[in-house]
Amino acid sequence: RKEVEQDPGPFNVPEGATVAFNCTYSNSASQSFFWYRQDCRKEPKLLMSVYSSGNEDGRFTAQLNRASQYISLLIRDSKLSDSATYLCVVTEGGSYIPTFGRGTSLIVHP
Amino acid sequence: GAGVSQSPSNKVTEKGKDVELRCDPISGHTALYWYRQSLGQGLEFLIYFQGNSAPDKSGLPSDRFSAERTGGSVSTLTIQRTQQEDSAVYLCASSSSTGAGNTIYFGEGSWLTVV
């Protein structure tokens, strides 16, 4: 199974800041892309899907760059409650098994 | 509606004992996954079930690990002769189908500690 790479961080930012994470994947045939959020000692939960055209959900924007094989997550106007680990998830074409990155830790401080 | 349900929530067992972990997926979901996450680590795929098809066992770390899914619904992950390195949270997830782009939903996990 191919790799999904993320910078583990932590990214330490003040409230109100804008922060961006990238995730690279190695299989150019990958088809499905997601960002999940995982709070400490909790299960991962879907944050948003990532579409080829990019998508936005409130303060969160996800983008896919197939040519360079990476996806990104942008968080604007960071809140204390955004503190969590953000997991990049990629499913290869022809596979039914999502591969999870190890996650990027975000800490938003007052 | 009910989400993915896992039991037990926590399990402490002695090295060498067998353990069984149970997963009840979201009703109607045909795809079921088991992942493992050790402390501070990423999610490690273990096994995947889809309907009545043969499971994909490619992630099972050793022959001490096995899983079954009865009636296309409830799944049991069994770890025989547990070792300390088996200590982790075992996460079950389900999905409505296996088409590209389908979201998987996780249970709260079974926290296993082998002493």
List all residues 6 or more positions away from B84 whose beta carbon is below 8 Å from its beta carbon: B15, B114, B115
Burial level of B18, CB count in 10 A (0-12/13-18/19+)? exposed
Residue A43's nearest CA partner among B87, B44, B46, B108 is B108
Please indicate whether, in this complex, the C-beta atoms of A87 and B48 are within 8 angstroms of each other. Answer: no
Q: Is 90 exceeded by the pLDDT of residue B97?
A: no
Residue B92's nearest CA partner among B24, B29, B30 is B24
The pLDDT, as a whole number, for residue A80 is: 98
Cβ pair B96, B89 in contact under 8 A: no
Q: How many whole angstroms from its chain centre is CA B115?
A: 21
The pLDDT, as a whole number, for residue A96 is: 84
The pLDDT, as a whole number, for residue B37 is: 96
Which positions in chain A touch B103 (Cβ < 8 Å)?
34, 46, 49
Residue of B nearest to A51 (CA): B101
Which positions in chain B touch A91 (Cβ < 8 Å)?
100
Q: Is 70 exceeded by the pLDDT of residue B99?
A: no
Query: How far is the alpha carbon of A83 from chain B, nearest alpha carbon, in Å?
Result: 16
Residue of A nearest to B42 (CA): A102
The pLDDT, as a whole number, for residue B100 is: 54
B103 lies within 8 A of chain A by CB? yes
pLDDT digits (tens, 9 = 90+) for B23-79: 999 998 999 999 999 988 899 999 999 988 889 999 999 999 999 998 879 999 999
What is the average per-residue pLDDT within B92-102? 77
Cβ pair A46, A34 in contact under 8 A: yes
The pLDDT, as a whole number, for residue A3 is: 86
Distance separating alpha carbons of residues A68 and A36, to the nearest angstrom: 21
Interface of B with A in 34-73 (CB under 8 A): 35, 41-43, 45, 48, 50, 56, 58-59
Which positions in chain A touch B105 (Cβ < 8 Å)?
46
Parts of chain A with a pLDDT under 70? 1-2
B5 lies within 8 A of chain A by CB? no
